[in-house]
Amino acid sequence: MKRIISYILSTCAWLLLIAAVLVTCLQIAVNDRQWFLSEYVKLGTAREAGMSNADVAAALGQLVDYMEGRAESIQIEVTVDGKTKDMYNRREIDHMVDVRALYQFWLAVRTIGGLAALAVLFLVFRWMRRDALAVLCGSFLAACGVFLGLALILGLWVTVDFSGFWVQFHHLFFTNDLWLLDPATSRMILICPEELFYDVVIRVGTWFGGILVALLAACILYLAMRRRRHSTPYQPGDHDYEGV
């Protein structure tokens, strides 16, 4: 029973830590302004928006600063077709209030959940003693299995019906329709093309996947070595009195 409880607790803790790592990778990615500038140059986004690459990157950077709590507003002045204008309209400003609240919520979940998970893993380690590493490694494999299963289901949904997924996502996290922006009047849509989101997902996924693969490899290696050690027949040495 002690081992089962330890597996359940540590599996839940690992799931929290996995989510925390994912959120952290996303936060690091969205705060890399130089990378976004290079993306805009590659995608030609500024040309379509009638702005300079520097202004497009600055406009997105203002969004990130607002979500992070470093700015009081998303509004910023930019040059569009040679004229100085406010970047965002009222609907975009109101929508980003909800986006910032959601972003800050997930950062709080990341921090609180991550710390709680580390505390649980430490307690399991102390509780299980000699079997601690085996339990923690085994539960990490289980947590990865659960996470990857959910990720596959979500990925299948996105692949089959991205529009339906996108709508349900907004209905789940927002209580209004401010997220329905008009492409004809929204510069926010122009500086956030689908290709940009795709590249962000690839970048975050590469970092996140690399961390998971490294931890998975370490856990599998340890469990394999432990199983081999336990399955090896005992060979008495010269120092063992029973072998004399």
- Please report whether residue 236 resides in a domain: no
Element (H, E) at 85: strand 83-86
Kindly report, residue by residue over 109-121, the tens digit of the pLDDT.
Answer: 999 999 999 999 9
Burial of 36 (0-12, 13-18, 19+ CB in 10 A): buried
What one-character-per-residue DSSP string does 208-230 give? HHHHHHHHHHHHHHHHHHHHHHH
Burial of 193 (0-12, 13-18, 19+ CB in 10 A): middle
> Distance between CA 105 and CA 109 in Å, rounded?
6
- Please report whether residue 163 resides in a domain: yes
- Please report whether residue 234 resides in a domain: no
Query: What pLDDT shows up at residue 169?
Result: 87
Give yes or no for a contact between 196 and 45, defined as CB atoms under 8 angstroms apart. yes
Domain range spanning residue 155? 2-224
Average pLDDT, the chain: 90
* Adjacent-strand bridge partners of 129: none
Element (H, E) at 151: helix 132-160
- Please report whether residue 243 resides in a domain: no
> Distance between CA 159 and CA 153 in Å, rounded?
10
Query: What pLDDT shows up at residue 243?
Result: 40
- Please report whether residue 244 resides in a domain: no
- Please report whether residue 202 resides in a domain: yes
Contacts (Cβ under 8 Å, ≥6 apart) of 66: 72, 73, 74, 96, 100
Query: What pLDDT shows up at residue 83?
Result: 93
- Please report whether residue 71 resides in a domain: yes
Query: What pLDDT shows up at residue 244?
Result: 36
Domain count for the chain, please give it. Answer: 1
- Please report whether residue 239 resides in a domain: no
Query: What pLDDT shows up at residue 242?
Result: 42
Q: pTM of the predicted model, to two decimals?
A: 0.86
Look up tokens 């203002």; give the residue. 62
Burial of 136 (0-12, 13-18, 19+ CB in 10 A): buried
**Mean pLDDT by groups of 10 residues along the chain of 244 residues:** 89 96 96 94 91 94 96 95 94 95 95 96 91 93 93 86 84 91 90 88 92 94 86 53 39
For 65, other C-beta atoms within 10 Å of its C-beta total 17
Query: What pLDDT shows up at residue 240?
Result: 46
Query: What pLDDT shows up at residue 111?
Result: 96
Kindly report, residue by residue over 74-127, the tens digit of the pLDDT.
Answer: 999 999 999 999 999 999 999 999 999 999 999 999 999 999 999 999 999 998
